[in-house]
Structure 1
Amino acid sequence: MRRVVVWTAACLAVLLTAGIATAYGYYHSLRSGMVQHDLEAALDEGERPEKISDAVNILFMGSDGYEEGSTAYTTEFEGERSDSIMLAHISPDNRVSVISFPRDSLVDLPQCDPYGTAEGTHGYFGMINAAMYHGGPPCVVRTIESLTDVRIDHFVHLSFMSFRDVVDAIGGVDICIPEPMKDERSKLDIPAGQQTLTGDQALSFVRARYEIGDGGDIGRIDRQQMFMAALADQAMRGEVLSDPRKLHGMLTAVTTHSATDSRLTLDRMLSIAVSLSDVDLSDIEFHTVPWYQAPFDPNRILWHEDRAEELFTAVREDRPLPPLMAADEAAVPAEPPGASPSAVDSPGDSPSPEPHAARPGEGRDATSNPCADGLGFGTGEEAY
């Protein structure tokens, strides 16, 4: 009997050790593919906002750097700019708010030190998407922190390939499209009706701009927010999180084609994902920074400072975000405060669409559903 007990214990020890070794090997293989940036070393702590709540703020940056095999508009421009910037605010009480910062925004860019191949920059008034060009992800974090006074806990720099592979890993994203959509520049061609978008289709969908709606960035942000709501809904479902193949695909896509800060480790990602598993889609709110058309350039926008500050203060203090009501035309200032057309000189500039009618940003709930049987969105000016 003693011999049987000893051999049983030994076998269990071997199996347990093998399991631990296998798990560690898997963890190490995923982690080794992650590009990580040391924000603490790149940014001056004395210039960063103080953290005053237990909420987690994660800055998502989608870049327009060209990748072979991806749906990219062009290789004409050198360097990399932020194609989209979103701040996800995750509250301990299961509230999630996502704030979009339009890439056409003219803002006060802060001074950024050289980083990697980027040469850094002095502070100046220009396009918000130029921060990535000047100083990589740390400069984008510094820019958002300087504009919002919100402490960024983590960031995720998503590439085209990462976004595409995440969508494919979960089997595509279901979304309802009320009318056909086509945009040659992003290679988008989708019929109307209930659709399951593949990774390539999803990438074209969130990047389409010039031939959809009014051709502006704000309409594209609306579509991005609606798609991200559908993506979050499907990614957090039990059939995805409990499916080893799909979960492995998502983790591999994130770790292979994206970059994070060094503190956003794989176990930290999983911890955040588990905490979000109890969040209902109706608890996710999407907002766009309140804005108005720049008087001196119909293709650029400025922020309503008072209303934007109300939004940022709510995030800082971890309070429910205020409903952002459309401003009266009379409330739009005739001139942008502290700016002039001659002050704009940004390498973030790119070919502009035709002038489009501006409308102030407006918060909306992620459950908006123009389609009867699934998540959808409008494609005309009336839908925005």
Structure 2
Amino acid sequence: MDRSQPSRAETPAEAPTVRIRPAGAAPRRARGRGPGTAGKVALSALSVMVLATTGVAWSVAGGLLGGLSTSDALDAGAPKSAGGDTNVLLIGLDSRKDQDGNQLPKEILDQLHAGDGTQGGYNTNTLILMHIPAGGGKVKAVSIPRDDYVPVKGIPGYRNAKIKEAYGLAKYYAEQDLVKQGVTGKAELEHRGREAGRKKTLETVREFLDVPIDRFAEVNLAGFFDLANALDGVEVCLKRPVRDSFSGANFPAGRQTLNGAQSLAFVRQRHGLDNDDLDRTHRQQAFLASVAHKLRSAGTFTDLGKLRKLVDAARKDVVVSGGWDLVSFAQQAQGLTGGNLEFSTLPIAGYQTVDGQDVNKVDTGQVRAAVRTAFGMDPPVPATPEIRASSTVDVRNANGAAGLAATVAKALEPYGFRTGTLDTATAADSSVTYGEGARADAAAAARLVKEPLGRLDPGLPAGHVRIVLGPKFTLPPELGPHGADAAPGPSTGAAPSGAPSGAAAPPADGLQGGVVDGGGIPCVD
């Protein structure tokens, strides 16, 4: 097979998620919200909720813990939470394949309403960061909307991507490198590719939110199904009846108990919901709250048979970070088993269309502040000292990314810089130079764009700063909603198909909605 381009089966979902296009090629058609997207489903992090909510039961059944798959993707040198707190990233992977890269059996796919298995990729369609305080107290969990458009590093051809895509993109390119090195075994390529995907996901989330990640756990589509069945039914509550042929959701209003296949349909549905993926996120949160309620009320902690079923399911499809002492963690996470749990969804700043894809526009500063507030941390420290510039900034784009010069100039305006000439340039390294009287402002601009300060350029007019954007330039996320959060190119600010005109700013409460209380069985749309 020609591995120079990803096939539909290999790539992340939203095929072709690995958007390799010749320079100047027209972007592909915007992703619709109709039947073609039914296979791109969200996953719940149920497996990790099971691990985190079984509390002292792990101590009782410690001998059952052997055999869980582990990963070394978490960077040992990355920042850690202070004071004994623990942040756990829960990853729900949209994959119809097992850990060795084999497609799931048709009888399983049929029960999951997951198509014929060719639609799935390696998107992380569920990302939940859970904060467990060292001394007990309320556990806070924040969901990251899967379509948030964020900076990514080390992925060929990408400066930004949907956050869900980091895993699959990194996996794909890692496998290409491995093949060039002579690695051909399917299972080895799958294992090492997934490890690269985990590393990139952890890095991307950590840099986006600017908080530590101490542990993580991952589950795929089959894992959710197996764990939901092992619970022997989970009670949920709906505010209104729903019927959705894409996900298989067909439920009346009110409280009801769902089996494994029905549970998956419940957390997958987004068609027919007012806020699409954001409302589906509330379904996932409500389901996890119901799981916690079931675990603490159904005798799971004292029933070794029930516990064994859960652990056996976890062994099949769950991957956890290496070195995680789950017994000690369970003692710390008593807030989960006691129902002292709260979910929220991180805010978005509106919608955009980028390269023909609908994405969530995000204000990085707002998102980081929301996380730190939820986790009881100190407010974020400003990335740069107060800047009051007055120079005119001319930006020359040697990067090749359409609209990048305008994006950079716009990002500098809140600091007092006036936009001057915007143009392209032939291949050149990034640099910051200045005309007479503009050295201080040039130094400030260099700090903001994180490029080296050059010398006085006699050819520049007085009071002018010139920034050249080289091929490796990436706009720092610290520049906020005027920088990395604004998509480059002529599509910036455009609302997606079906979104109301001017949807760049959601209502005061945010499209993400309010808090979901994990203390019982919350009722959701």
**1:144: how far off?**
0.8
Counterpart contact for 2:335–2:341, Cα < 8 Å: no
Distance 1:121 1:91, change over 3 A: farther
Question: What are the superposed Cα offsets for residues 172-227 of structure 1, whole Å, 9 maximum, x if unpaired?
Answer: 111222322222111222222321111111111111112x3136211111111111
2:368 is matched with 309
Determine which structure has greater relative contact order: mean sequence separation of CA pairs < 8 Å that are 6+ residues apart, divided by chain length.
1
2:402 is matched with none
Structure 1 letter corresponding to 2:147: D
Give the % identical residues.
23
Whether 1:342 and 2:489 are equivalent positions in the alignment is yes
1:1-384 correspondence runs (5 A): 31-32=66-67, 34-39=68-73, 43=75, 45=77, 48-66=78-96, 67-68=104-105, 69-70=108-109, 71=112, 73-74=114-115, 75-77=117-119, 79-92=121-134, 93-111=136-154, 121=156, 124-135=159-170, 136-210=197-271, 212-214=272-274, 216-237=276-297, 239-264=299-324, 268-277=325-334, 279=336, 283-296=340-353, 299-314=358-373, 318=377, 337-338=483-484, 339-342=486-489, 354-355=498-499, 358-359=506-507, 360=510, 361-366=512-517, 374-377=521-524, 379=525
Distance 1:278 1:340, change over 3 A: closer
Aligned residue-pair number: 312
Q: Distance in 2 between matches of 1:151 and 1:259?
A: 19
SS for the counterpart of 2:125 is strand
Distance 1:133 1:337, change over 3 A: same
Structure 2 letter corresponding to 1:183: D
**1:310: how far off?**
1.4
Structure 1 letter corresponding to 2:200: C
Structure 2 letter corresponding to 1:37: S
Q: Distance in 1 between matches of 2:311 and 2:283?
A: 25
**1:134: how far off?**
2.3
Q: Distance in 2 between matches of 1:170 and 1:285?
A: 22
Unaligned segments of structure 2, at least 5 residues: 1-57, 97-103, 171-196, 380-480
> Which protein shows a greater Rg?
2
Counterpart contact for 2:339–2:519, Cα < 8 Å: no
SS for the counterpart of 2:129 is strand
Question: What are the superposed Cα offsets for residues 91-138 of structure 1, whole Å, 9 maximum, x if unpaired?
Answer: 122320111000111111222xxxxxxxx5465111111111023212
SS for the counterpart of 1:98 is strand
Counterpart contact for 2:237–2:523, Cα < 8 Å: yes
Distance 1:202 1:106, change over 3 A: same
**1:57: how far off?**
0.9
Identify which range, 219-228 or 308-317, moves more after superposition: 308-317
Unaligned segments of structure 1, at least 5 residues: 1-22, 112-119, 321-334, 345-351, 380-384
SS for the counterpart of 2:358 is coil
Q: Distance in 2 between matches of 1:39 and 1:218?
A: 28
Distance 1:293 1:336, change over 3 A: farther
Please give the root-mean-square deviation of Cα atoms over the aligned residues, in Å. 3.2
Q: Distance in 1 between matches of 2:138 and 2:275?
A: 32
Q: Distance in 2 between matches of 1:376 and 1:231?
A: 14
Structure 1 letter corresponding to 2:499: P
**1:261: how far off?**
1.4
Identify which range, 269-278 or 81-90, moves more after superposition: 269-278
Distance 1:122 1:155, change over 3 A: farther
SS for the counterpart of 1:31 is coil
**1:44: how far off?**
7.2
SS for the counterpart of 2:270 is coil
SS for the counterpart of 1:49 is coil
Distance 1:291 1:177, change over 3 A: same
SS for the counterpart of 2:267 is helix
Identify which range, 305-314 or 274-283, moves more after superposition: 274-283
2:415 is matched with none
**1:242: how far off?**
0.9
Counterpart contact for 1:237–1:277, Cα < 8 Å: no
Counterpart contact for 1:161–1:257, Cα < 8 Å: yes
| TM-score normalised by the chain length of structure 1 | 0.71
**1:281: how far off?**
5.8
